Amino acid sequence: MTALYALPSSLVLILGVVLAVALACGGQLLVHRFVADANFLDDNDLNGYISGTIVTLFAVLIGFVTVVVWQQYDSMRDRVAAEASDVAGVWHDAVGLDPRARSAVRKDMLGYVKLMINEEWPAMRSGHVGPQGAAYIMDATTDVGGMDAKTNTESNAQVTIVGLLNGLHAERDQRLEANQSPAVSGFMWSIMLFGSFAVVVFCYMFGASHHVTHLIMTGLVAGVIASMLILTFELQYPFRGDNGISPAVWTGLLAHIQDMDAHGSAAMRM
């Protein structure tokens, strides 16, 4: 499954829908080859009542799962923004530290931002992330925590930055956990796939005077279901695939840091 996230999302969608439509229409042709259409026509009312119940339950399930994966995706996007905000806060508040600690902490934060852009975000697509990001946070925490504050300004900056670094560590852990644990469990996938199968099979149970029209309707049902399942698949890991959360917030922060280091006051430089 991981290999699918390396493919363009549009290609996965096209292949998935085409395969689903082909299987659904092929199954209908096979069923109606061995069962006379008249047998289905006689039971259209009963089939419509039962299939309506199943379709309603399936729609509720798909709607619930879609909301769950979208909420996680949106939540992780906010978490990434908060993570970058903590890094920016550490850089800004380091103005209150002594020059040695200030320079060391800012170098760690600059290294952290570059790591996010160049290594960690690409690595998250495969789910394997190294420990270097945590090492930058621990180094900065050691530099700040080990500083002997001599003024109230240094003491206040020290306390504030330690709090920001603790928050940064927690947000990073939550991001990595979301990238390892899908929003939709294997059990939920089994239920959705079974529900999809049941809805498509009930399309076979109706009789129609125009076979081509019936095939088109079955194909459309299968295509819509496949597209919803693929959407869920693409969003269940917020940082994988073409639709994964981009590192744009980090590239913006890097530009801001480089601008401060090049054009800011002496206290705002490394």
Of the candidates 157, 119, 158, the one whose C-alpha atom is nearest the C-alpha of residue 136 is 119
Question: Can you give the pLDDT at residue 147?
Answer: 78
Mean pLDDT by 10 residues, the chain (270 residues): 78 93 91 68 58 81 90 91 93 88 91 93 82 91 84 88 93 89 89 91 74 86 94 89 88 89 67
Position 30 scores a pLDDT of: 87
Whole-number pLDDT of residue 143: 87
The whole-angstrom separation of Cα 108 and Cα 81 is 19
Domain ranges of the chain: 2-261
Q: What is the pLDDT, as a whole number, of residue 39?
A: 59
